Structures are given as structure tokens and as C-alpha cells.
Structure 1
Amino acid sequence: MQKIILLLALITFSITSAQTKKKQILLIGTFHYANPGLDVAQLNNFNIMSEKSQKELEIMSEKIKKFGPDKIFVEWEFKKQAELDQFYNKNTDSLFKNNKSEITQLALRTAKKLNHKKLYGMNLYTRFPYDSLMMSMEKANQKDLIAKNKAITENFEKQHNEKIRKSSLQEMMLYYNTKQAENENLQWYLEVANRAGNPDDFTGPSLVSNWYKRNLYMYSIIQKLTESTDNKIMILVGAGHAALIREYITHDPTFELVELSTVLK
């Protein structure tokens, strides 16, 4: 009888442990390898196609392969998954030689090494009314805030462009995934954008809330597409998205964060 009770206890413990085991998420925030110049900050391009960078990409993708994500999510429009599937099935060598995007160079490269059948798009594009934000500041005569916004943007550009000149690709990637870099990404929204305009002008808070909403919707897609059989996943997004998605993961008991620095060590 005691043996039966002990066996039942062990089974119950095993089931409970399986139910409470958290899924691991490797969250990778990045600068855009093929920078189209559409962001507010004007950042210099990194020579992602150089021999050195290509070797680094091979090493990084091998280390992520060892981590072993079951799914890889990328910043591709969720509604255009069919296009992403077609893109994924194109000639891989040709893509690596001609497409600078981080989706190709890091996510697709890693997924192919893992024999994944596809990448998962989770982006939801929304308008970012930066011009309207600036107009609200000017209308409210917020000269100090305008000056602060200019200083923050110029400082970000300067830091990035200096690192581009001095750093390797892996060093750049590790920097963009530090708490300092993520905090700087989030800081602008509350320090500048949310303060913009007269008291009865909510252009600033609207921009900020829509940015939070967009990332929350993206996170919802990740949650819904992560299946019970998935133990590990990887998310590759622009650093601005990663800063918020990190917060969502931190407060979601289903997941636990895995730092890029521990995977690339």
C-alpha cells in the first residue's frame, strides 16, 4: 500500500513539474542590418556582407543552433505569412549573398541549420506619427522638450555610429541586448513623447500607447503560436520592440528569458 501511495505521489509530482516547467525564450534585439533609413535616428550601415561579419554570423547561428529553439519568430508582417514561407524556400545561398536583412542573415540561417520548415512572422505594422508629435511640441511652445528630443536623438546616432566603426557584429549585437541599451530605447517614450503638446493635446500619449499596444499585439501572436510541444523559442526583432517584449515576458509565468550573452559566450 505504501508503495502504491509513493508511486502516485511521484506521478503527481512529475505531472505538476511538467505543467509548471517554463518555456525558454531567447529574445534578440537588433539594429537593422539593411538599414532603410526610415527610422527617426539616421544610423550608419554596418558592412554585414564583409567576410568577417559572415564568419561571425556562422558562429552565432551555430551557437543558437546549440540552444535549440523549436520556433523562430521574426519581424515580418503576420498577415503576410504566405510571403514569408515563399521567401524561406528560395535559394538559400543566393539569399545570403544578396539579402542583408537580419531575418535572412541570422534568423533564416539559424532555422536552416535546425531543419525548420518555416519562420514565423509576428509583426503588426502601425503608423508612427512622429511629424504630428513635433507639431504638438511646437504648438505648445515646448522649446526645452524639442531641444531634449534633438539631443537624445543625436546622442543615440553618435553612440551607434561610433560603435559601428569600432565593433564587430557580435559586439554590436551584445550591446543592443544590454539593459542599458534597452532602457535607453524605452526612455524616449516617457521622457519626451508622452510629455508632448498642451495639456488637452494627447498626440504624445496616443503615440506612446499605440507603440505599447503594437508590441503587446505582437507578443499575443507569439503566445498563441507557441505550442505545448515547444520548449524553446527565439524572437528576433528591432531593439525598440525587444525592450518592451522583455517586460511582457518577465511578467508571464509561462516563459523565462534566456540572455543572448549566455548563448554566445
Structure 2
Amino acid sequence: MYKYLSGVFLLFISLHVCAQQRATPKIKILLLGSVHFNPSTQDVYQNKQINLTDRQGQVQLEQLLAQLSQFAPNQICIEVPTQKQSKIDSAYQQYLKSQYKLGTNEIDQIAYPLAKRLNLPTVTCVNYRGSFDLDAVTKYAKENNQTAQLAALDQFAAGTAAGIVAAQQEKSITDLFRFINSNEELTKNAAIYTAYATRIGQGSDYPGTDLVANWYSTNLHIYTNILRAIRPTDKSIMVLFGYGHITILKHLFQSNPDFDVVDVADVLKQ
């Protein structure tokens, strides 16, 4: 009888804990992949520069910000290393006082104005710079008769970048964000690593796979930085990051039961 009651009690406790867990609202997270408005010189395949400071650009930007503000994130996470948080805090406070001239990059054009609209105290730095040695992969391919695999990677990546450039020329900034955050484009970008880089290497050598492993490691660290930044009162988070990061980040947050990943298309509606 004692064992029976103990079992019932433990079952009750288990059901109670599960009910409490289910009752806790999930944090909504919007992973907004972006091209870099000012392309990095470190990127092998680059999009064209985006400048939204003219009148037409500001009109388009207003349309984008209006839709993003409806999501109403409690935090906006940006692609800046965590070590630079104090610098970002200072710049943002100057911006709020009209003492900071916005640059043309996506952080200044999107993150700062959106945070101001939402009365957020700052934007949150969550980037992590890991190892990414593409030169070593290229060198290995050339020295080990794998130039065909290297050429295939280059052709596919260049074609993907060309598609982004074409979209820049044809679409408004909101439509561009919809495009690059579509499953098709995110999959194309991820395939550069999973379908092409991993082909470089043979026998006991895995230079391409090691490159991809380091890329995953970088994104795992970014994911952890986002988790560390979340406060108990946060109900929704927006992450503004280079769109090449999004596929991995999306997988990580979709596998975390504390989060509800919001589709960009559901926020940036046509």
C-alpha cells in the first residue's frame, strides 16, 4: 500500500511539473537574416552595398521598421562581439540624444531606430568570432588534385551571391528581407558548406569538414550568447544577423522547447 501511494504521489508530482512547464509561455524569437549593407572585405562572395539614406531608401526603411515594430521584441540582438557592448551602449545613448549620426550599415539603419521606437534601453551584442580558414581548404584542394571540387564550390557560391545581387536591384528592402529569409535561399547558403565544402578532403584528411565544424562551432557560441542575454521578463527577441548564420541558429532554437521560432514571412507580410 505504501509503495502504491508513493507511486501515485510521484506521478502527481511529475504531472504537476509537466503542467507547470507547459504553462510557461515560450519566448518568441525572430531570426532576421540580413545581407551586410556595407559588405565585409573578409567575405569571399559579396552582395552589393545598400544605402538607404536617400529619400526613397528612407521610405522603404520606414515600411520595414513599421512591420518589425509590430513584433515588438523585448531585446534586439546584433552581430557585434559581446566584448563591444559598452561601445554599442554609448553609441546608442548618443543616438537617443541626437548626438550620433547614423551610418549606412544594417545596425545603424535597422537596430538603432527600431530599438528607439520600442523604448529599449540598448541593443544586445551577441556575436562570436570563431575560426574560419578557407585559405587552408583552398590550399589543400590545389595540392591534392581536388580542384574540381573547389571549382564546384566556387561556382555554386558565386551563383548564390549573384542571385542576391539581382534581388537587391529588383526588390524593395522589405521584399529583399523576405527573399533572403525564404527557406530556398537559406538552404542554398547552407549547401555551400554541407554539399560542397565537405567534399574537399580524402583519406584521413578532413579540411572541408573541419571548416564546416568550425562554422557550426561559431554559431553554437552565438546561440549561447543569445541564451545568456535573455532576461526572465523577455517575451520576444529579434536577432539581426548575416543570413548565412540563420539556418544553424534556426535549427538550434527550434530544438529548444523554451522558444517559438517566428517565420520572417509572418512578420514581413506582403
TM-score normalised by the chain length of structure 2 = 0.87
| Residue type at the aligned position of 2:41 | G
8 A contact 2:45–2:158 mirrored in 1? yes
Instruction: Say if 1:98 and 1:70 are closer, same or farther in 2 by CA, change over 3 A.
Output: closer
Moved more, 34-43 or 178-187: 34-43
Q: Does 1:241 align with 2:251?
A: no
Q: Does 1:42 align with 2:42?
A: no
CA deviation string 1:189-219 (max 9, x = no partner):
1212122123222222221111101111111
Q: Does 1:144 align with 2:144?
A: no
Residues 32-181 of structure 1: pairs in structure 2 closer than 5 A? 32-91=36-95, 95=100, 98-181=102-185
Instruction: Say if 1:201 and 1:117 are closer, same or farther in 2 by CA, change over 3 A.
Output: same
SS in 2 for 1:192: helix
Instruction: Say if 1:190 and 1:55 are closer, same or farther in 2 by CA, change over 3 A.
Output: same
CA deviation string 1:44-96 (max 9, x = no partner):
2223223222112222212222211111100011111111111212235575x
Moved more, 233-242 or 59-68: 59-68
SS in 2 for 1:49: coil
Instruction: Supply the distance in 1 between the matched residues of 2:94 and 2:202 (Cα, whole angstroms).
Output: 51
Task: Report deviation, 1:34.
Answer: 1.4
SS in 1 for 2:94: coil
SS in 2 for 1:161: helix
* Aligned residue number for residue 198 of structure 1: 202
Equivalent of 1:230 in 234, 238, 253:
234
* Aligned residue number for residue 4 of structure 1: none
8 A contact 2:103–2:109 mirrored in 1? yes
| Residue type at the aligned position of 2:120 | H
Q: Percent identity?
A: 27
Task: Report deviation, 1:235.
Answer: 0.5
Aligned residues: 252
Instruction: Supply the distance in 2 between the matched residues of 1:137 and 1:143 (Cα, whole angstroms).
Output: 6
Equivalent of 1:254 in 252, 258, 270:
258
Instruction: Supply the distance in 1 between the matched residues of 2:92 and 2:218 (Cα, whole angstroms).
Output: 25
Instruction: Supply the distance in 2 between the matched residues of 1:30 and 1:42 (Cα, whole angstroms).
Output: 12
| Residue type at the aligned position of 2:212 | V
CA deviation string 1:145-185 (max 9, x = no partner):
02201211221232122112211111111111100111111
Instruction: Supply the distance in 1 between the matched residues of 2:55 and 2:20 (Cα, whole angstroms).
Output: 49
| CA RMSD between the two structures | 1.9
Instruction: Supply the distance in 2 between the matched residues of 1:121 and 1:213 (Cα, whole angstroms).
Output: 18
SS in 2 for 1:91: helix
Where structure 2 has 5 or more consecutive residues not aligned to the other structure, the ranges are: 1-15
Q: Does 1:182 align with 2:186?
A: yes
SS in 1 for 2:44: coil
